[in-house]
Structure 1
Amino acid sequence: MTDTVTSLLARNLHGVFGEADDARRRVLVDELFTEDALFVEPAGVTRGRAAIAAIAGKIRATHPGFAYAELAPAENLHGLAGRLRWTSGEPGRPPSYAGTDIIVVENGRIAALYLFFDPLPVKDVA
């Protein structure tokens, strides 16, 4: 299975980290990530599909009602890497936090995912 960089980014954000069901999350991780994929975040480094699915579940469990919103279209860098800026929070309320996902793609799958937390976007005031 191969996928475009922008699709991988969106499916990872919403389908892996936004998924509450462990079994559905695991199926998607197996589809999107290479077997020995790397996930690097401020809290640590995780390697392998099973570990990535588990950490995504733990992250999701800390904010079960939160939803992700993309701040801008995902960016594709020559089919080899990409980034997606996003926010997360309770639907209908201002976001609670923001981040950027950067991926490295090998053979149509995510080989590495780097998560950076960002300052919340400033809302324009008139």
Structure 2
Amino acid sequence: METNAKLLEDSLLVIWNNRDAGQRLTAMAAIYADDIIFYESNEGPAIQGNAAINDVIAGLQSQWPVEFKFELTAAAKVNHQVQHIEWQLGIPGESPVATGMDIAIIDNGKIKSLHLLLDVPEK
């Protein structure tokens, strides 16, 4: 059982911040279960597998300035097999363009499912 949220931190900081698809896939093999499921939104379909998630990341990154980075905004939390982190996205030192949290379910030392909860901007 994971006793800290290192896997989820690495998911965000090592995988999602990396702009090299090959390096991401290598990191994914160490952090994500082979049959990982990523839930990007409640309305969208589940995205399964490292290759599919890698494609999602590449598509999103192609829309962002190269300076964009994910940064943790609070200490990671863990409760048995559940890990949680809060983050912001944007150019470091400037106001973030997005904020949210990731929740992961850990199984056999890897992330089995990853759930994104994106903060909705106030109107």
- TM-score (normalised: structure 1): 0.85
Q: How many residues align?
A: 118
Question: Would you say the 8 A contact 1:17–1:59 is kept in 2?
Answer: no
By how many angstroms is 1:4 displaced?
5.4
1:1-126 maps to which residues of 2 (within 5 A)? 5-42=4-41, 43-63=44-64, 64-78=66-80, 80-119=81-120
Query: After TM superposition, which residue ranges in structure 1, 4 or more long, deviate above 4 angstroms?
Result: 2-5
Against the structure 1 CA distance between its residues 65 and 29, is the aligned structure 2 distance closer, same or farther, given a 3 Å change threshold? same
- How far apart are the structure 2 equivalents of 1:58 and 1:4? 33
Bigger CA drift: 61-70 or 23-32?
61-70
- How far apart are the structure 2 equivalents of 1:19 and 1:67? 9
- How far apart are the structure 1 equivalents of 2:69 and 2:28? 19
- How far apart are the structure 2 equivalents of 1:31 and 1:4? 17
By how many angstroms is 1:61 displaced?
2.1
Q: Secondary structure at the match of 2:74?
A: coil
Question: Would you say the 8 A contact 1:16–1:29 is kept in 2?
Answer: yes
Question: Would you say the 8 A contact 2:38–2:113 is kept in 1?
Answer: yes
Structure 2 letter corresponding to 1:25: R
Q: Which residue of structure 2 aligns with residue 124 of structure 1?
A: none
By how many angstroms is 1:60 displaced?
2.0
Q: What stretches of structure 2 of length at least 5 have no aligned partner?
A: none
Against the structure 1 CA distance between its residues 60 and 44, is the aligned structure 2 distance closer, same or farther, given a 3 Å change threshold? farther
Give the percent of matched residue pairs that are identical in Structure 1 and Structure 2. Answer: 26
Structure 2 letter corresponding to 1:74: A
By how many angstroms is 1:92 displaced?
2.1
- How far apart are the structure 1 equivalents of 2:10 and 2:2? 10
Q: What is the root-mean-square deviation in Å for CA atoms of aligned residues?
A: 1.7
Q: Deviations over 1:57-115 (max 9, x none)?
A: 2222221321111111111111x011101001112211111011000000000000000
- TM-score (normalised: structure 2): 0.87
